[in-house]
Amino acid sequence: MTEHKMTKLAEKLKRGISVSGPISLAEYMHICMADPQYGYYKNQIAIGAKGDFITAPEVSQMFGELIGIWCIDIWQKLGAPNQFCLAELGPGKGTLMSDLLRAANIVPEFLSAANIVMVETSDLMRQAQKERLQDIDKNITWVSEVNDLPQMPTIVVANEFLDVLPVHQYVKSGDKWSERGVSVDDKDQLHDVLLAGTIEEALLPKGAADEPQGSVYETSPAREAIIEMLSATFLEHQGAALFIDYGHAISSFGDTFQALRSHGIADPLAEPGLADLTSHVDFERLAKCASRLNIEPRISTQAEFLLAMGLIERAGSLGQMGDAQSQTQISNAVERLASDSQMGSLFKVLSLTSNGILPSGL
Ligand code: SAH
């Protein structure tokens, strides 16, 4: 077992648990990510070579550029409204938005119609985003919640945002599926427990009865709430969203909760507040959520999406402008973003669109 370090957040969590009892995994994840004093995103610049992980926008400018082209196409299909909200959820270092806006220079009307809104909870990340976007000649607004987005035609992009939102886990134990939680053991260490709460088998995917003991099912009401809020906005004002993340296209069983620290897998209970906690996104479940609200979902892999949006062509034209070294970097980036052994098929793309709008690339 990993030696658990006494992070300040571990102390705070243990004090809370000793007063009010064990907490659910979802609550643990939420506190680790968002605690106002010691939460991961409050204190760490997570992304990049010096951080804990690297994301697609940081791999190559082509990623944000192709998403920019996707947004322009959607805006045109929405009837080119002269005011619309262009929102990014969890914008990290601001790289995706910066590349998207540069690509959008080809359609100045799109840029002048865009009210750019960044949904970000962390002051540290907001600062990084402001620096990255300081040369943008437009007013950019920051808000903390999807709920705070203006009510107007809306185009939303979000890369590796959903995976940080909390998940509940239910573990098959006997004839029940019991909720997983976190408690403190007699050596004063945080540890896994099963809580009294359960989920009914009728709410689980097909085949639950045949799953072995210990099998895990994950749900994320926090993710579903975001999809529901956006769907309501799209229904009323028209709009579309593009979510990119690692996860599965078909709901299934399995424990995908993980901690990442310094580009490696860590014990999620070992250093609360210092590691990034995530889980895979159940895209089928989110797609059903949107369908129920009459918003059309489409799911593809990241590779399918990027190739259909013109990744190879963009790589070719960027390569022509550069020397041999930059050509190698570009072809490595294509490989990293789109090959099956890297991000190409683990990462999925979910688009949501209102009123029969057919998005490109999916
Ligand atoms: N999209 C970026 C960053 C992904 S990391 C990229 O691809 O590089 C997750 C981002 O979501 C960070 O910016 C983090 O601060 C932000 N975040 C985490 N929880 C959030 C929440 N509940 N609401 C809004 N942003 C959040």
Ligand 1 mean position, distance from CA 105 (Å): 25
Together in a domain, 119 and 247: yes
Task: Answer yes or no: is 19 within a domain.
Answer: yes
SS (H, E, C) 342-353: CCCCCEEEEEEE
Which residue CA neighbors atom 24 of ligand 1 most closely? 120
Ligand 1 mean position, distance from CA 176 (Å): 34
Ligand 1 mean position, distance from CA 1 (Å): 30
Task: Answer yes or no: is 359 within a domain.
Answer: no
348: domain CATH number? 3.40.50.150
Q: Choose the residue to mutate in 54, 164, 243, 349 for probing ligand 1, maximizing ligand atoms within 8 Å of C-beta.
A: 164
Dump the DSSP string for 34-96: H-TTT-HHHH---BSTTSSB--HHHH-HHHHHHHHHHHHHHHHHTT--SSEEEEEES-TTSHH
CB within 8 Å of 262: residues ≥ 6 apart: 52
Chain centre to alpha carbon of residue 219:
15
Together in a domain, 256 and 313: no
What pLDDT, on the 0 to 100 scale, is given for residue 53?
82
Q: What is the mean pLDDT of each run of 10 residues along the chain (362 residues)?
A: 67 96 98 92 78 91 98 98 98 97 97 98 94 96 98 98 97 96 95 95 91 97 98 98 97 96 90 94 98 98 98 96 94 97 97 93 87
Q: Tell me which residue range forms the domain holding 87.
A: 43-147+239-251+286-353
Task: Answer yes or no: is 258 within a domain.
Answer: yes
β-partners of residue 277 are 259
Ligand 1 mean position, distance from CA 125 (Å): 8
Which residue CA neighbors atom 2 of ligand 1 most closely? 92
What pLDDT, on the 0 to 100 scale, is given for residue 4?
52
Identify the residue whose tokens are 């809104």.
117
Ligand 1 mean position, distance from CA 99 (Å): 17
Ligand 1 mean position, distance from CA 179 (Å): 26
Together in a domain, 270 and 172: yes
Pocket of ligand 1 (CB under 6 A): 33, 41, 47, 55, 57-58, 90-92, 96, 119-122, 125, 159-161, 164
Identify the residue whose tokens are 């998005």.
359
| Half-sphere exposure of residue 237: CA atoms within 13 angstroms, side-chain side | 18
Ligand 1 mean position, distance from CA 127 (Å): 13
Task: Answer yes or no: is 292 within a domain.
Answer: yes
CA nearest 118: which of 156, 62, 171, 75?
Answer: 156
Check if the beta carbon of residue 198 is closer than 8 Å to that of residue 179.
Answer: yes
Ligand 1 mean position, distance from CA 85 (Å): 19
197: domain CATH number? 3.40.50.12710
Which residue CA neighbors atom 11 of ligand 1 most closely? 90
Together in a domain, 329 and 189: no
Together in a domain, 29 and 165: yes
**8's tokens:** 């300040």
Task: Answer yes or no: is 155 within a domain.
Answer: no
Task: Answer yes or no: is 154 within a domain.
Answer: no
Q: Is the dihedral of CA 295, 296, 301, 302 positive or negative?
A: negative
Together in a domain, 69 and 190: no
Kindly state the helix (H) or strand (E) to which residue 99 belongs, with its residue range.
helix 95-103
Together in a domain, 166 and 199: yes
Task: Answer yes or no: is 3 within a domain.
Answer: yes
Q: Choose the residue to mutate in 97, 99, 121, 347 for probing ligand 1, maximizing ligand atoms within 8 Å of C-beta.
A: 121
* Strand ranges (E), the chain: 23-24, 84-89, 114-119, 140-143, 154-159, 168-173, 176-184, 190-198, 216-219, 239-248, 258-261, 264-266, 276-278, 281-282, 296-301, 347-353
Together in a domain, 99 and 52: yes
Which residue CA neighbors atom 16 of ligand 1 most closely? 90
Together in a domain, 135 and 243: yes
Together in a domain, 108 and 71: yes
Total of domains in the chain: 2
Together in a domain, 170 and 299: no
Ligand 1 mean position, distance from CA 339 (Å): 25
- Ordered alpha helix ranges (H), 238-274: none
Query: pTM score, two decimals?
Result: 0.96
Residue 338 region, left (φ>0) first, then alpha (ψ -120 to 50), else beta? alpha
Atom of ligand 1 nearest to the CA of 93: 8
β-partners of residue 246 are 347
Measure the N-to-C terminal CA separation of the chain; round to a whole number of Å: 44
Q: Choose the residue to mutate in 120, 130, 156, 281 for probing ligand 1, maximizing ligand atoms within 8 Å of C-beta.
A: 120
Task: Answer yes or no: is 361 within a domain.
Answer: no
Atom of ligand 1 nearest to the CA of 34: 19
Together in a domain, 218 and 133: no
Which residue CA neighbors atom 26 of ligand 1 most closely? 90
Ligand 1 mean position, distance from CA 89 (Å): 7
